[in-house]
C-alpha cells in the first residue's frame, strides 16, 4: 500500500520554479523596468510563398512602470498571416506559476473602418497577464504562418529604454535553393554562427548575450538604431501568386510596377479634359499644378489594406467612379491624369512619417509604408531642370511640398525598367523658417500685455498647417499654449492663417497674451530678459561617457524682433551686450538698442546646422554641441535693467 501513496505524492509535487526574479543579475536590474529573460525566434521558410515564425518570449516586469509595456502581448495578423496559437503563463517573484492563459482570455480585435477613412483586414490578438504586485514574469508562445514572403520577420530583442536583456536567439532555416538575405546591425562579436547545410536546408543562427538597460540620452537616434538587430529578407518571394525578387532595388520596383500595369486607364472624357490643359497651360509646372488642384478638389483619401491590395493599386477608373483611393490608387490616378496632360510621371514608394528612419540603402527590401508621385521635369527639357513631388492623399497640402512627412529621405521610383532609389526634396535651414515680431507693453509691477505675429515657412509650419485646416480653435489654442515656455500667462486671442509664399507653404499665427510676471522688481529697478518667447534651452550635463551618437534636429532659421514698451517712469539703465557666435553647429546674433521714442528693440537670429551629411555625429561631438547650446542659452537669457526715473 505504500507504493501507490508514494507515487501520488510524487505526482502532486509542485513544479520547479521558472524564471525567479532574484536570479536576475544586479547589473541587469539597474535602470530597468523590465528584463527580457528569453526572446527566441525560429523562422522556417517552407517555400517561396510561405514561412512559419514561432516565438518564445519571457519578460520579468520589475516595477509598475514596466507593466503596461511588457505585461501583455499583442500579435497582429491579416488575411495573409495566420496565428496558429497564442499561449501564455504568468509567474510570481519566486517563479511559481500564478496563472495559465486560457483560450477564452486571448482576445481578438479588428482594426476595421473608422467611418470610411480605412478599409483593412488587419486584426490583432492580445493577452493581458498584468499583475498588481511586482516583480512578476510573463511567458508567451505563439506561431504565425505567413503567405506574404515579401516581408520576413526582423529580430531585435532589446528595443526600448529601461529594458534589459538576459539572452536571445534567432534561428532561420530555409531551402538551400531559396537563399536567405540578412543584414546584421551592431551585433557583438561571436553573435553569429556559421550557416549549416543539411538535407537541402540551410540553417542560420544568432545569439545575443546579456545586456543592461540603455538610457535614452539627449539628442540620440532612436534606440532601434542603437541596439543589435538582424533584418531578414528573401532573395525571391511570392504573394498571392505574384512572384518577385529582392535581389536589388530594381527587381523590387519591377515587381510593384508590374502589379499596377494596365490600371492607369481613364474614361475618355476625363482624358480629353486633361489634354486641354496642354493648350491652356503650356508651362509644364503650371500644368502640373492645375492637375494637382483638380485631384485635391475631386478625391479623398481612404486607406486600403486588403491582401494584395496593400501593394497593388486600384484602377484609376475606380478612383474616378468612387472619388476616393488609398495612397497607391491616388498616386496612380494622378500619374494617369498627368500623362493625359502630356506630363509623364512615376509612382514612388517611401517610408513616411516625421520620425521614420531613412531607407537602409544597402539592403534592398520592403521598407516602405506610403506612395507618392514624382514628375521629373528635367526629362522634358524644361529650364530650370528640376523635379516636382506630389503628395496625392492630401486635399490641403501645397503643390510640390513634401515637408517632414516624406522629405529629406529616399524613395523607390517605380519605372518600366524597375526600381530606382532617389532622394526626395531636401529641406535645409532656409526652408525651415520662423520669423516672429513681439510687442510687449510692460506694467510697473512686472506684468505685460503682448501681441505676437509669427510667420512659419516650410518644415516649421507643418503641424500648424494641420491645425489650420482642421479648424478646431480649442485644439489650436491647446497646441500653441503647450509650446509657450512661459509661466502664468493667458492667451487672449489666437488666429492662424495661410501665409502667402512663392516657394514654400506657410502659416501666420497672430496671438494676444497677458503675462503675469515678465520682469522681476529689485528696489527701484526691474530686471527682465527681452527674449520672452524665443529662448533655446541648454542641454543637460552628460553623466559619464556618452554612448549614443549625436542626432541633431533639423536645420532651421529663427528670427525674433521684440519691442519693449516701457512703463511710465522707467528707462533703460543697462542693456545686454551684442552677441555673435559662429560654429559648425550654427550661427547666432543678438542686439538690444534704445529707439528714439524710448522703446527698446531686441533683435535675435539663430541659424542651426547639421555638420557633414546630416547623419548622426560621433558621441564625442556632444560636448562641442553642448557648449554651443550653452552659449546660445546664456545670450538668450541676458537681461535688461530698467530703473525708475520718477522716484
pLDDT tens profile 158-204? 999 999 999 999 999 999 999 999 999 999 999 999 999 999 999 99
- Provide the mean pLDDT of the chain: 92
In a domain, 3, yes or no: no
Give the CA-trace dihedral at 405, 588, 504, 421, to 10 degrees: -40
pLDDT, tens digit, 9 for 90 and up, residues 495-509? 999 998 778 999 999
Q: What is the pLDDT of residue 548?
A: 92
In a domain, 225, yes or no: no
In a domain, 2, yes or no: no
In a domain, 111, yes or no: yes
Do residues 316 and 266 lie in contact, with contact meaning Cβ atoms separated by under 8 Å? yes
Q: Are residues 434 and 417 in the same domain?
A: no
| pLDDT score of 70 more than 90 | yes
224 exposed, middle or buried (CB, 10 Å; 0-12, 13-18, 19+)?
middle
* Helix-then-strand count for the chain, H and E: 13, 37
Q: What is the pLDDT of residue 114?
A: 45
Q: What is the share, in percent, of the chain residues with pLDDT greater than 70?
A: 94
What is residue 398's three-state secondary structure?
coil
DSSP 23: G
Among residues 423, 453, 478, which one ends one of the domains?
423
Cα separation, 142 vs 87, in Å, equals: 6
Q: What is the pLDDT of residue 2?
A: 43
Cα separation, 170 vs 156, in Å, equals: 10
In a domain, 9, yes or no: no
Q: Are residues 489 and 413 in the same domain?
A: no
Q: Are residues 139 and 91 in the same domain?
A: yes
Do residues 162 and 211 lie in contact, with contact meaning Cβ atoms separated by under 8 Å? no
pLDDT, tens digit, 9 for 90 and up, residues 389-425? 999 999 999 999 999 999 999 999 999 999 999 999 9
Q: Are residues 455 and 511 in the same domain?
A: yes
pLDDT, tens digit, 9 for 90 and up, residues 574-613? 999 999 999 999 999 999 999 999 999 999 999 999 998 7
Q: What is the pLDDT of residue 307?
A: 60
Q: Are residues 413 and 522 in the same domain?
A: no
Q: Are residues 253 and 402 in the same domain?
A: yes
Per-residue pLDDT band for 614 (boundaries 50, 70, 90) equals: confident
User: If we measure between CA atoms, which residue out of 414, 257, 260, 269 comes closest to residue 340?
Assistant: 269
SS (H, E, C) 414-428: EECCEEEEEECCCCC
In a domain, 504, yes or no: yes
Q: Residue 392 belongs to a domain with what CATH number?
A: 3.10.620.30
Cα separation, 368 vs 403, in Å, equals: 17
Query: What is the residue-wise DSSP string for 404-467?
Result: HHH-SSEEEEEETTEEEEEEPPP--GGGEEEEEEEEEEE-TTS-EEEEEEEEEEEGGGHHHHHH
Cα separation, 499 vs 392, in Å, equals: 22
Q: Are residues 291 and 435 in the same domain?
A: no
| pLDDT score of 5 more than 80 | no
Q: Are residues 467 and 603 in the same domain?
A: yes
Q: Residue 29 belongs to a domain with what CATH number?
A: 2.60.40.3140
Among residues 373, 397, 423, which one ends one of the domains?
423
Q: How many domains are contained in the chain?
A: 3
Among residues 423, 440, 456, which one ends one of the domains?
423
| pLDDT score of 355 more than 90 | no
Q: Are residues 451 and 524 in the same domain?
A: yes
User: If we measure between CA atoms, which residue out of 291, 293, 392 comes closest to residue 348?
Assistant: 392
447: containing domain:
429-540+548-644
Q: Are residues 252 and 141 in the same domain?
A: no
Do residues 518 and 446 lie in contact, with contact meaning Cβ atoms separated by under 8 Å? yes
Cα separation, 402 vs 462, in Å, equals: 10
Give the CA-trace dihedral at 482, 483, 484, 490, to 10 degrees: -30
**268-275 and 327-340 helices cross at what angle (nearest 10)?**
60
| pLDDT score of 454 more than 80 | yes
Length of the chain: 647
Q: What is the pLDDT of residue 397?
A: 93
In a domain, 582, yes or no: yes
What is residue 266's three-state secondary structure?
coil
For residues 288-315, average pLDDT: 86
pLDDT, tens digit, 9 for 90 and up, residues 197-217? 999 999 999 999 999 999 888
Rounded to 5°, the CA angle 418-424-427 comes to 170
Q: Are residues 409 and 446 in the same domain?
A: no
Query: What is the residue-wise DSSP string for 127-167?
Result: EE---SSSSEEEEEEEEEEESBTTSPPPB-S--STTEEES-
Segment among 56-70, 269-283, 443-457, 541-555 with least mean pLDDT: 541-555
Instruction: Centre a 10 Å sphere on the Cβ of residue 637 and count the other Cβ atoms it contains.
Output: 14
Q: What is the pLDDT of residue 108?
A: 93
Instruction: Centre a 10 Å sphere on the Cβ of residue 104 and count the other Cβ atoms it contains.
Output: 6
Q: Are residues 211 and 300 in the same domain?
A: no
In a domain, 565, yes or no: yes
Cα separation, 539 vs 92, in Å, equals: 41
Cα separation, 133 vs 71, in Å, equals: 12
Amino acid at each position: 500500500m505504500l507504493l501507490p501513496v508514494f507515487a501520488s505524492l510524487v505526482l502532486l509535487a509542485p513544479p520547479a520554479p521558472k524564471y525567479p526574479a532574484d536570479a536576475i543579475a544586479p547589473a541587469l536590474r539597474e535602470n530597468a523596468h523590465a528584463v527580457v529573460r528569453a526572446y527566441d525566434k525560429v523562422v522556417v521558410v517552407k517555400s517561396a510563398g510561405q514561412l512559419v515564425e514561432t516565438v518564445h518570449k519571457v519578460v520579468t516586469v520589475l516595477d509598475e512602470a514596466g507593466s503596461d509595456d511588457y505585461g501583455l502581448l499583442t500579435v497582429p495578423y491579416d488575411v495573409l498571416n495566420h496565428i496558429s496559437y497564442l499561449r501564455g503563463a504568468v509567474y510570481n517573484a519566486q517563479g511559481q506559476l500564478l496563472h495559465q492563459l486560457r483560450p477564452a482570455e486571448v482576445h481578438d480585435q479588428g482594426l476595421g473602418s473608422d467611418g470610411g477613412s480605412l478599409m483593412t483586414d488587419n486584426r490583432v490578438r492580445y493577452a493581458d497577464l498584468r499583475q498588481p504586485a511586482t516583480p512578476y514574469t510573463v511567458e508567451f508562445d505563439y506561431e504565425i504562418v505567413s503567405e506574404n514572403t515579401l516581408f520576413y520577420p526582423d529580430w531585435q530583442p532589446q528595443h526600448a529604454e529601461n529594458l534589459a536583456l538576459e539572452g536571445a536567439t534567432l534561428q532561420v532555416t530555409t531551402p538551400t535553393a531559396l537563399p536567405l538575405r540578412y543584414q546584421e546591425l551592431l551585433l557583438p562579436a561571436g553573435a553569429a554562427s556559421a550557416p549549416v547545410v543539411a538535407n537541402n536546408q540551410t540553417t542560420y543562427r544568432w545569439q545575443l548575450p546579456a545586456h543592461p538597460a540603455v538610457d535614452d540620452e539627449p539628442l540620440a537616434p532612436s534606440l532601434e538604431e542603437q541596439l543589435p538587430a538582424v533584418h531578414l529578407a528573401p532573395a525571391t518571394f511570392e504573394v498571392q501568386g505574384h512572384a518577385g525578387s529582392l535581389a536589388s532595388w530594381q527587381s523590387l520596383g519591377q515587381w510593384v510596377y508590374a502589379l499596377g500595369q494596365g490600371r492607369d486607364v481613364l474614361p475618355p472624357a476625363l482624358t480629353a479634359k486633361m489634354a486641354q490643359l496642354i493648350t491652356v497651360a503650356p508651362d509644364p509646372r503650371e500644368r502640373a499644378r492645375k492637375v494637382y488642384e483638380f485631384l485635391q478638389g475631386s478625391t479623398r483619401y481612404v486607406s486600403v489594406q486588403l491582401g494584395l491590395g496593400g501593394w497593388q493599386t486600384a484602377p484609376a477608373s475606380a478612383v474616378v467612379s468612387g472619388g476616393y483611393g488609398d495612397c497607391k490608387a491616388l498616386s496612380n490616378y494622378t500619374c494617369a491624369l498627368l500623362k493625359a496632360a502630356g506630363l509623364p510621371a512615376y509612382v514612388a514608394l517611401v517610408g513616411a512619417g516625421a520620425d521614420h528612419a531613412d531607407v537602409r540603402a544597402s539592403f534592398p527590401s520592403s521598407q516602405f509604408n506610403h506612395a507618392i508621385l514624382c514628375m521629373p521635369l528635367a526629362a522634358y527639357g524644361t529650364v530650370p531642370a528640376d523635379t516636382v513631388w506630389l503628395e496625392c492623399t492630401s486635399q490641403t497640402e501645397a503643390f510640390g511640398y513634401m515637408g517632414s512627412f516624406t522629405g529629406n529621405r529616399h524613395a523607390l521610383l517605380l519605372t518600366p525598367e524597375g526600381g530606382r532609389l532617389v532622394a526626395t526634396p531636401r529641406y535645409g535651414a532656409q526652408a525651415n523658417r520662423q520669423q516672429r515680431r513681439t510687442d510687449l507693453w510692460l506694467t510697473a509691477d512686472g506684468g505685460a500685455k503682448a501681441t505676437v505675429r509669427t510667420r512659419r515657412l516650410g518644415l516649421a509650419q507643418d503641424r500648424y498647417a494641420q491645425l489650420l485646416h482642421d479648424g478646431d480653435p480649442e485644439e489650436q489654442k491647446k497646441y500653441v499654449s503647450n509650446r509657450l515656455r512661459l509661466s502664468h500667462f493667458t492667451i487672449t486671442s489666437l488666429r492662424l492663417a495661410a501665409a502667402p509664399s512663392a516657394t514654400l507653404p506657410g502659416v501666420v499665427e497672430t496671438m494676444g497674451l497677458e503675462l503675469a510676471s515678465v520682469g522681476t522688481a529689485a528696489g527701484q529697478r526691474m530686471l527682465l530678459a527681452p527674449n520672452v518667447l524665443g529662448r533655446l534651452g541648454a542641454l543637460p550635463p552628460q553623466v559619464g561617457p556618452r554612448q549614443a551618437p549625436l542626432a541633431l534636429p533639423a536645420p532651421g532659421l529663427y528670427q525674433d524682433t521684440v519691442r519693449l514698451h516701457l512703463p511710465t517712469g522707467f528707462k533703460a539703465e543697462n542693456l545686454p551686450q551684442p552677441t555673435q557666435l559662429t560654429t559648425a553647429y550654427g550661427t547666432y546674433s543678438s542686439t538690444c538698442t534704445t529707439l528714439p521714442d524710448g522703446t527698446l528693440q531686441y533683435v535675435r537670429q539663430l541659424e542651426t546646422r547639421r555638420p557633414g551629411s546630416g547623419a548622426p555625429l560621433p558621441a564625442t561631438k556632444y560636448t562641442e554641441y553642448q557648449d554651443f547650446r550653452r552659449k546660445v542659452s546664456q545670450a538668450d537669457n541676458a537681461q535688461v535693467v530698467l530703473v525708475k526715473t520718477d522716484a
